[in-house]
Each structure stands twice: as structure tokens, then as C-alpha cells.
Amino acid sequence: MSRLRERIQSRPPEPMKPTQWALAGAFIGILFAVGSIARGDVAPGIVGGILAGILCYLVLRNISERQWRRIREWERRHGARHAP
């Protein structure tokens, strides 16, 4: 079986956990805020950083929810025969 076929048939990877979403959101928010503050935009930098962090958190949560759906679908189709 080719590598591509094995990858297509393999179980989807585990999604990120809520703690990881929060850490990534905080990291992105801080980077955005620091970048804006460095340019002299203090208030917009803080607000933008908070909004960027929240947006990152929500996007990662949505991606993880989709991954869980894909995993459930994969398990429904393949059952225990291909379980890792």
C-alpha cells in the first residue's frame, strides 16, 4: 500500500486540548499587543491583542470540534480493525 493511501486510511490526529487553545490564544494576543504597542498604539494594541487572542481561541476550538467529528466518523467507518 502506498504512503498516501496509508495516510488517507489512517485515523485522524488527536485534536488540541482546551488548555492548548488558551495558551495559543494568549501567545497570539500578547504578540499582537506587543507589536502594536511598539508602534506607539497602546490602547488599540491592548484591545486588538485581546480580540486576536479570543479569535485564535475560538478558531482552534472550532478546528478541534471538527477533528473530533472526523475521528468519530472514521471510527464508525473502520471500527476497531484499524484502531491504533
Mean pLDDT of 61-74: 92
Q: Whole-model pTM?
A: 0.77
Q: Please say if the pLDDT value at position 11 is more than 90.
A: no
Mean pLDDT of 6-13: 78
Q: How many CB atoms lie within 10 A of CB 33?
A: 21
Domain-wise residue ranges, the chain = 17-79
Mean pLDDT of 10-38: 92
**Which residues, other chains included, contact 68 with Cβ-Cβ below 8 Å and sequence gap of 6+?**
15
**Which residues, other chains included, contact 55 with Cβ-Cβ below 8 Å and sequence gap of 6+?**
25
Predicted pLDDT of residue 75? 87
Q: Is residue 15 within 8 Å of residue 64, measured between CB atoms?
A: yes
Please count the CA atoms within 13 angstroms of the CA of 59 that sit on its side-chain side: 9
